[in-house]
Structure 1
Amino acid sequence: MLRGRVAGVVFRGVVPARTCALLAERFWASPARRARGTDAPGYYLGAYHYHKTTEDYLAETAEFRGALDAVLDMPDDPLTRLNQGLSEALAAEGVQFRLASHGGREASRAIMRSWHGQSEYALAPHEDLGQCTEPKQADFEIQRAAEHQIVALNMCLDNGAGGRLAVWNIRPDEASRHRLGLHYTGSPYPLDSLAGIEVAWLEVHPGDVYLFNGAHVHAVEPETSVETRRITLSGILGFIDENTVVSWT
């Protein structure tokens, strides 16, 4: 995926059920968990770069790093395991894998999220490439990833009925984003703009780790029960030059 050879991959049941349950419990109990606005109703723990200045994102990352680390503090936590494996695999190809950084400060290593929207989609159709061209982050190295492939990483910690991932077989170009007024956000794509385009639906279960090309338009189906909420541990990856892959949130 990082080299654009495949669109996505899913590894079933990678994270043990007890680990998923403990992480989900800690997420809901964390005093640092925050509600997101009406653009994408839900809760999150950590920091996201979307539509922020580089300074604001990195300051928010530093503010909530301790709370995120506390939730992930367990032997053999799944994020550390995945990052170590990815680092080893890329190192064998002469590529360094690290957190994105700016001015000596590092990006968040993950973000935990639960989407609660109850319209047609819990998280409206969007793509992750447009947000990587935000002028307020022109000084941030993640913008160089837009010249390569944007890979979305998700670990499912909880999910009930519904909560599938929808991925459309289209990667909007810059002209399309400008025409729709989404050139720096990549969200939300009007449903009528996606009419007739092939879409794949991915069933997601606790313990699954799935990655896909985030430049494709994708969305999250709402849960059909209010008793179970879809929770993921997520991040974004991409090459910024031929020898470096960085991650951010």
Structure 2
Amino acid sequence: MQQSKARLSGQQADPGFFRFEERDELDYELVLDVLHGRRLGVIFRDVIPAAARKDLTERFWASPARQHREGEPSHYVGAYHWNKDAGTYLDESAAVAEHVRDVIDAPDSPWHLFREGVGEVLGKEGASLRVAEMNGRPACAALIRAWDKEGDFSLDPHEDEAQCKDPRQRGFEIQRVLDHQICAVNMCTEHTAGGRLVIWNIRPDDATRRALDIELTGLPYRAEDLAEFEELRVDIREGDVYAFNGAFVHAVGANSGNRTTVSFIMGFTDSETVVSWT
């Protein structure tokens, strides 16, 4: 039976906000704009040195901790906080921490460079960036993954806000980011073809999530339900680094070959602290 189209409700941004800034060199003030909710997103083209992306990609594929995820198929090294209790996520983060570091500690690592740069601009306003914690236990530093899902999307339409509402993670400081903005960060170290970033101009509300029964997961939204909203399609290439407001519905378009990224989510918990998790 064909499903009827759902009417999505929530916030839509004005044209001045709903756009991506593009640069050919890293500008961390633009990332700060995303963190503060002043712009939707920014992409820095070809800013990861060729040797660094080759080394990091090889470390990823050779990692003994690399796993294959079902549901939203991908190869990955790291841990997902999505749809699980905080203790399980932190246990998984601890178990894989050394392997994650073995990948991201490549020479000229974009993970280190980006976080140092963001930390510097945050410092000018009296804030800092660190990995999120709960009871002294750190979140996963990064998630390295390569998509291999068939169909229209390698990663189905979703948003990153709902998953931070899970009551099983009560007390985990990432839930305080909900009072601010959620910023998704991705660094592309390997790319063949396709795999565009697609973002729709809708930041869903809880009424929409409840109607779709995705109140605590934010996944999936159906493309036909999103058709009425303006969308951006951003081509992603090897060497690119991009950051955007993850509360807006977004997806990864179909890709061929490998599309490998280093990623994490970050946001303010208060005026002095930005935390990151995966």
Q: Are 1:193 and 2:222 counterparts?
A: no
**Unpaired runs of at least 5, structure 2:** 1-33
Q: Are 1:3 and 2:33 counterparts?
A: no
How far does residue 165 in structure 1 lie from its aligned partner after superposition?
Answer: 0.6
Bigger strand share: 2
CA distance in 1, matches of 2:129, 2:62: 32
Q: Percent same amino acid at aligned positions? A: 48
Contact 2:56/2:106 (8 A) holds in 1: no
For normalisation by structure 1, the TM-score amounts to 0.96
- Opposite residue 241 of structure 1, the aligned amino acid is D
CA distance in 2, matches of 1:53, 1:185: 12
Aligned twin of 1:23: 56
How far does residue 67 in structure 1 lie from its aligned partner after superposition?
Answer: 0.7
CA displacement, residues 63-89 of structure 1 (integer Å, 9 cap, x when unaligned) = 001111112233332111111111111
**Unpaired runs of at least 5, structure 1:** none
Q: Are 1:104 and 2:103 counterparts?
A: no
Counterpart among 143, 152, 157 of residue 184 in structure 2: 152
CA distance in 1, matches of 2:267, 2:103: 25
Aligned twin of 2:259: 230
Aligned twin of 2:269: 240
Coordinate RMSD, CA, aligned: 0.9
CA distance in 1, matches of 2:223, 2:196: 17
CA distance in 1, matches of 2:105, 2:182: 28
Aligned twin of 2:5: none
CA distance in 2, matches of 1:131, 1:219: 15
- Opposite residue 48 of structure 1, the aligned amino acid is Y
Contact 2:83/2:217 (8 A) holds in 1: yes
Q: Are 1:210 and 2:210 counterparts?
A: no
Aligned twin of 1:162: 194
Matches within 5 A, 1:61-100: 61-100=93-132
How far does residue 115 in structure 1 lie from its aligned partner after superposition?
Answer: 1.1
Count of matched residue pairs = 245
CA distance in 1, matches of 2:206, 2:114: 32
For normalisation by structure 2, the TM-score amounts to 0.86
How far does residue 120 in structure 1 lie from its aligned partner after superposition?
Answer: 1.1
Aligned twin of 2:66: 33
SS in 1 for 2:218: coil
How far does residue 213 in structure 1 lie from its aligned partner after superposition?
Answer: 0.3
How far does residue 10 in structure 1 lie from its aligned partner after superposition?
Answer: 0.4
Contact 2:154/2:254 (8 A) holds in 1: yes
CA distance in 2, matches of 1:42, 1:104: 30
SS in 1 for 2:207: helix
How far does residue 140 in structure 1 lie from its aligned partner after superposition?
Answer: 0.4
- Opposite residue 26 of structure 1, the aligned amino acid is R
Contact 2:55/2:106 (8 A) holds in 1: no
